[in-house]
């Protein structure tokens, strides 16, 4: 599968990024808010779904993770909830990225990165301007993310 390179410039685009980032694993030390550059960036291991086995081979589905970078431009501020920024080795499971405009139709607002375990990151942005890009590294994993609402 080719590497993903996606740009988000509105709420619908952000939804596409969110779908590609669901169940990404992010180390706290791999996130950075750069106020002078008005940028927020992170590196993650995103879950890339199922590579189905060939019918003739009768093997189990393989799951893939890919190293990816995510960046937001025009960031005016960043707030965290439920994340100890001093614990650089803690891993977070990214569930979604959502948009909350300040006013109906306004370009500025908040991008919410929601993590498992009641952790969240809120970015105050002038407008949505984000990029998700695979960084080339990909590997198979036997583990598929489980959600509380799914049968085990």
pLDDT of residue 145: 75
Per-residue tokens: 147 = 């959600």
Please report, to the nearest 10 degrees, the dihedral formed by the alpha carbons of residues 125, 131, 66, 97 taken in order.
30
pLDDT (tens digit per residue) in 21-35: 999 999 999 999 999
Environment class of 67 (CB within 10 Å of its CB; exposed 0-12, middle 13-18, buried 19+): middle
Whole-prediction pTM: 0.86
d(CA 65, CA 12): 24
**Tokens coding 141:** 């994993």
CB 124 within 8 A of CB 1: no
> What is the per-residue pLDDT across 42-98, written as a single tens digit (0 to 9) for each?
999 999 875 555 555 556 667 889 999 999 999 999 999 999 999 999 999 999 999
């Amino acid at each position: 599968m080719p590497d993903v390179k996606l740009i988000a410039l509105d709420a619908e685009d952000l939804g596409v990024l969110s779908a590609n980032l669901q169940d990404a694993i992010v180390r706290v030390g791999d996130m950075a808010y750069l106020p002078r550059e008005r940028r927020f960036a992170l590196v993650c291991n995103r879950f890339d779904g199922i590579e189905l086995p060939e019918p003739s081979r009768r093997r189990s589905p393989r799951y893939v993770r890919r190293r990816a970078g995510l960046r937001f431009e025009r960031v005016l501020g960043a707030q965290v909830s439920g994340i100890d920024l001093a614990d650089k080795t803690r891993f977070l499971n990214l569930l979604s990225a959502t948009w909350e405009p300040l006013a109906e139709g306004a370009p500025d607002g908040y991008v919410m990165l929601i993590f498992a375990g009641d952790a969240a990151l809120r970015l105050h942005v002038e407008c949505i301007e984000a990029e998700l890009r695979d960084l080339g590294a990909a590997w198979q994993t036997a583990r598929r993310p489980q959600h509380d609402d799914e049968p085990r």
